[in-house]
A and B are shown apart, each in its own frame.
Chain A
Amino acid sequence: DAGVIQSPRHEVTEMGQEVTLRCKPISGHDYLFWYRQTMMRGLELLIYFNNNVPIDDSGMPEDRFSAKMPNASFSTLKIQPSEPRDSAVYFCASSFSDRGRPQHFGDGTRLSIL
Chain B
Amino acid sequence: AQSVAQPEDQVNVAEGNPLTVKCTYSVSGNPYLFWYVQYPNRGLQFLLKYITGDNLVKGSYGFEAEFNKSQTSFHLKKPSALVSDSALYFCAVRGNTGGFKTIFGAGTRLFVKA
Residues in B lying within 8 Å of A, measured CB to CB: 32, 34, 36, 41-46, 49, 51, 90, 94, 96, 99-102, 104, 106-107
Report the Cα distance A43→B91, complex, angstroms: 12
Contact flags A94-109 to B (C-beta < 8 A → 1, else 0):
0001011011111110
* A56 interfacial contact with B, CB 8 Å: yes
* A4 interfacial contact with B, CB 8 Å: yes
Chain A interface residue count, CB cutoff 8 Å, equals: 23
Residues in A lying within 8 Å of B, measured CB to CB: 4, 31, 33, 42-43, 45, 48, 50, 55-56, 91, 93, 97, 99-100, 102-108, 110
Interface of A is mostly: strand
A residues near B44, Cβ cutoff 8 Å: 43, 91, 93, 103, 105
Which of A55, A102, A105, A106 is B100 in contact with, Cβ under 8 Å? Answer: A55
Residue of A nearest to B104 (CB): A43
**With A105-B43, A105-B44: A42-B99 Cβ-Cβ less than 8 Å:** no
